[in-house]
Amino acid sequence: MRLLFKIICFALCFVVLTSCDSESMQYKNKPDDEFAQGVNEWNEVYHRNLKPRYGNSEPTDKQRMVDKEFIDGMLKDYKDKTIAAKRLANRGWYYFFHNKIDTAMFRFNQSWLIDSTYAESYFGFAAIKEYQGLKSESDKFYQTAYKHDNSDTLSKKILNKIADIKEQQKDTTSMLNAFHRAFNKFPNNDIASGKLGYFYSILNKPDSALKYFSITIELDPNYEQTYINRAFLYCELGNYEEAIFDCSTVIKKNNKSIYGFGNRANAYMLNKQYKLAIEDLNRCIELNQKHPNFHLAKAECYHLLKDENKACEEIRNGIKKGGKYNDRLKEYKCEH
């Protein structure tokens, strides 16, 4: 009754009031009030493509014929219905990423039409409804998607994909929620835990960041970047010994890790262990002959050690490699 009332009201508004133009009645990607949600419901009545699974409505004879032609054409091109469904879902994610929600829904519906047992279309419906703020609908589609993925392989992949899309869209709240869902569903998901650690560190929530960094290291002790990320956070917190330990762990696993040596040098400098920092910076220069900033860091170490001749020498070496350090020549009172 509520929907019928809205349809009647919108129809009258559309016909009678000049302020209710065709643009105001267009489908809303993300309805933010009751009117916008009503506009979407109005559109969904006349366009079954806008509703997940075509609204479970019984297709007309003409629609059946069109659907059959579409299915036959896809199977002719891809030979296998699951492969065809996957290709259509990929298009759905493309439009979802670009915030073209109506077109994304069209593509996920087509994926579902080709193979209603393939889980990815349900994930698409869930992601769209979540984006539109319709949580209860979204949750139902997530649960349906899980049921259609017996191995959980696709579920883990797609949950990470949704979170990755939110990250690229710079939607921080939705991204964190998505990575939390991916991790809570799959506690062995080191990609999700690593991302949570990284973004919590950026958001200045060190307790949460350290929690997820530790989880990630436990899940994948050979992934260097997590140690580097945690070391960077330790430096910001003033825990230099912990940062040095994490960087040393990276170096033990990979003695050619320029990130391990570079970040350890930074931690040594912050901890006023300048001679050890110089040793690591020398190793960085061996690994990358072109980067001028390693010489700048060495110059700073020598300057703090009161060895101005070597500080000036490193500044000149950095300038030869393209560094813009003429101001340091003046600061260190170097002779040109």
Q: In 3D, which of 31, 59, 27 has the Cα closest to residue 44?
A: 27
Alpha carbon distance 311, 307 (integer Å): 6
Alpha carbon distance 298, 319 (integer Å): 13
In this structure, is residue 7 part of a structural domain? yes
In this structure, is residue 35 part of a structural domain? yes
In this structure, is residue 23 part of a structural domain? yes
Q: What pLDDT was estimated at residue 78?
A: 93
Radius of gyration of the chain from its Cα atoms, rounded to whole angstroms: 28
What sign does the CA torsion over 46, 52, 55, 60 have?
positive
* Burial group, residue 16, by CB count within 10 angstroms (0-12, 13-18, 19+): exposed
CB-based contact 124:151 (threshold 8 Å): no
CB-based contact 311:325 (threshold 8 Å): no
Q: In 3D, which of 237, 30, 293, 222 has the Cα closest to residue 39?
A: 30
Q: Which DSSP symbol is given to 48? A: G
Q: In 3D, which of 220, 222, 169, 231 has the Cα closest to residue 194?
A: 220
pTM value? 0.86
In this structure, is residue 128 part of a structural domain? no
CB-based contact 186:152 (threshold 8 Å): yes
Q: What pLDDT was estimated at residue 18?
A: 40
Supply the range of the domain harboring residue 14.
Answer: 1-46
In this structure, is residue 325 part of a structural domain? no
Task: Give pLDDT < 70 ranges for the chain.
Answer: 1-23, 336
CB-based contact 197:226 (threshold 8 Å): yes
In this structure, is residue 231 part of a structural domain? no
CB-based contact 76:69 (threshold 8 Å): no
Alpha carbon distance 287, 171 (integer Å): 37
In this structure, is residue 20 part of a structural domain? yes
Alpha carbon distance 139, 180 (integer Å): 14
| Domain total of the chain | 1
In this structure, is residue 305 part of a structural domain? no
Alpha carbon distance 252, 260 (integer Å): 9
Residue appearing with tokens 């699951």? 82
Give the DSSP H/E element, type plus range, for residue 173. helix 172-185
| Cα 90–Cα 184–Cα 186 angle in degrees, nearest 5 | 65
CB-based contact 308:333 (threshold 8 Å): yes
Alpha carbon distance 114, 284 (integer Å): 55
CB-based contact 87:140 (threshold 8 Å): no
pLDDT digits (tens, 9 = 90+) for 147-181: 999 888 999 999 999 999 999 999 999 999 999 99
